[in-house]
Amino acid sequence: MRWIKLSAMLLATLLAVAPALAQSKSIDRAYEAEKAAEISTAKLQLANQPGSAAVQELNEAEDTLRRLKATKPADQRRKIAAELEMAITRLKIAAGAGSMQR
């Protein structure tokens, strides 16, 4: 129960901060590569958790990254980058929560 409260507080904080982080960073190929690496790391964590409920979060993060790579206008890329930050945060929390349940 304690982990859930901590996760909820962390998620709320990151959801408030993520759009600002995405706007302050340059949304270029290096940013895309960094986010792909974060997703891959979480995917490795999930590989050790059979039947994980975090698959939906993984799919969302991967889909959002694909949308970011396909988008060209800078203002739209910033918006999608903010969505990506939130999706990756949810993915990390879900992957971490699964490993805590063992």
Q: In the chain, how long is the greatest CA-to-CA distance?
A: 44
Say how many C-beta atoms besides its own lie within 10 A of residue 93's C-beta.
21
Terminal-residue alpha carbon distance, the chain: 14
Residue 91 is predicted with a pLDDT of 93
Look up residue 3 and give its two tokens: 């982990």
Residues contacting residue 38 through CB under 8 Å, at least 6 positions apart: 88, 92
Residue 12: predicted pLDDT: 60
List all residues 6 or more positions away from 65 whose beta carbon is below 8 Å from its beta carbon.
32, 35, 36, 39, 84
- Average pLDDT per run of 10 along the chain, which is 102 residues long? 56 56 75 97 86 85 98 96 96 77 50
Alpha carbon of 67 to those of 71, 86, 90: distances in Å? Answer: 6, 14, 18
The token pair at 62 is 């991967």
The whole-angstrom separation of Cα 94 and Cα 99 is 9
pTM for the structure as a whole: 0.73
What's residue 102's pLDDT? Answer: 47
